[in-house]
Chains A and B, each alone.
Chain A
Amino acid sequence: MAESIADVIVVGVGGLGGILAKELSSAGLKVVGFERGPAPQKEDYAPRDSIRFLVRPEKLDWVRHEPTTTRRRTGEKATLQYRTSPLNVLGGALLHWTGQSSRYMPDDFKLYTHEIASGNAERARADLSGYDIIDWPIGYADLEPYYEKFEWEFGVSGQAGTNPFAGPRKRGFPLPPLRHSARMKLFAEACQKLGYHPYDTAAGIASAPYKPAAPFDDRIPERPACVYCGHCNFYGCHVHAKSASLYITIPVALGTGNFELKTNAKVFRLNIESGDRLSGVSYFDPAGTVHEQKARVVILSAFVFEHARLLLISKTGKGRFARGVANSSGYVGRNIMAHGDVRAMGVFDDYIINGFIGPGSAAIRIDDFNGNNFDHAGLGFIRGGTIGTSGEGTPVTRFDVLPPGVPTWGKEFKEFYTRYYTRTMDLNMQPETLPHSANRVDLDARQRDRWGLPLPRVTFEFHQNEQRLQKFMAGVGEKIMRATGASRVWSEEKGRPNRWAGGTRMGADPRTSVVNDQCQAHDIDNLFIVGSSVFPTMAGYPPTATVAALSYRLADFILAQKNWFK
Chain B
Amino acid sequence: MSEQEKPRVFTEHERLIVCAIAERIFPTTDSPGAVEIGALDYVETALAGDYAAQAPLYRQGVRAVDRYARARFEKVFLRLTDAEKDAVLRDFEAGVPVFFKQAAEFFETLRYHVLEGVFCEPQYGGNKDMIGWRLVNFPGQQFGYDDAYVNRRVDLKPVSVDYRKNGTK
A residues engaging B (CB < 8 A)? 42-43, 46-51, 55-56, 59, 179-182, 185, 226-231, 238-239, 351-352, 354, 356-357, 394-396, 399, 408-411, 413-415, 417-418, 421-422
Contact = CB atoms under 8 A, between A and B. Distances in A.
Contacts of A43: 163, 167-168
Contacts of B152: 352, 354
B47 to A, nearest CB: 13
Given A227-B145, A418-B135, 14 more contacts: A42-B168, A47-B168, A49-B121, A55-B116, A185-B150, A228-B148, A352-B153, A396-B120, A409-B24, A409-B26, A409-B115, A410-B25, A413-B26, A422-B137
Contacts of B121: 49-51, 396
Contact of B144 (A42, A51, A228): A228
Interface in B19-53: 24-27, 29, 31, 50
B60 interface: no
Given A51-B120, A59-B50, A414-B26, A356 B138 contact: yes
B129 interface: no
B64 to A, nearest CB: 18
A193 to B, nearest CB: 18
A392 to B, nearest CB: 12
Query: Which interface residue of B132, B145, B163, B169 has the most chain A CB atoms within 10 A?
Result: B145
Contacts of A417: 136
A446 to B, nearest CB: 20
Contacts of B168: 42-43, 46-47, 238
Most A C-beta atoms less than 10 A away, residue of B24, B115, B142, B150: B150
B29 A414 contact: yes
A418 B150 contact: no
Nearest to B152: A352
Given A59-B50, A352-B152, A48 B137 contact: no
A418 B31 contact: yes
30 contacts: A43-B168, A48-B141, A48-B142, A48-B161, A50-B120, A55-B120, A56-B50, A179-B148, A180-B148, A181-B148, A182-B149, A226-B144, A229-B142, A229-B144, A230-B145, A352-B149, A352-B153, A354-B149, A357-B149, A408-B111, A409-B26, A410-B25, A411-B27, A413-B26, A415-B29, A417-B136, A418-B135, A421-B136, A422-B153, A422-B154
A208 to B, nearest CB: 14
Contacts of B149: 182, 352, 354, 357
A396 to B, nearest CB: 4
A319 B136 CA distance: 64
Nearest to B169: A238
B159 to A, nearest CB: 9
A201 to B, nearest CB: 16
B138 A394 contact: yes
A357 B145 contact: yes
B99 interface: no
B77 interface: no
A395 B133 contact: yes
B124 interface: yes
A228 B135 CA distance: 22
A410 B163 contact: no
A396 B130 CA distance: 12
Contact of B136 (A179, A411, A418): A418
B74 interface: no
B81 interface: no
Shortest beta-carbon contacts, A-B, top 4: A227-B144, A421-B136, A396-B119, A395-B119
A410 B22 CA distance: 9
B145 A399 contact: no
B84 interface: no
Nearest to A353: B151
Contacts of A408: 111
A229 B119 contact: no
Contacts of B167: 43
A298 B154 CA distance: 52
B7 to A, nearest CB: 16
A409 B25 contact: yes
A395 B27 contact: no
Interface string B91-113: 00000000000000000000100
Contacts of B163: 43, 47, 49
Contacts of A182: 148-151
A239 B111 CA distance: 35
A51 to B, nearest CB: 5
Contacts of A357: 145, 148-149, 154
A51 B150 contact: no
A48 B27 CA distance: 28
A395 B132 contact: yes
Nearest to B154: A354
Contacts of B29: 411, 414-415
A43 B168 CA distance: 5
B119 A399 contact: yes
A427 to B, nearest CB: 17
A231 B144 CA distance: 9
A356 B136 CA distance: 11
A354 to B, nearest CB: 5
B138 A409 contact: no
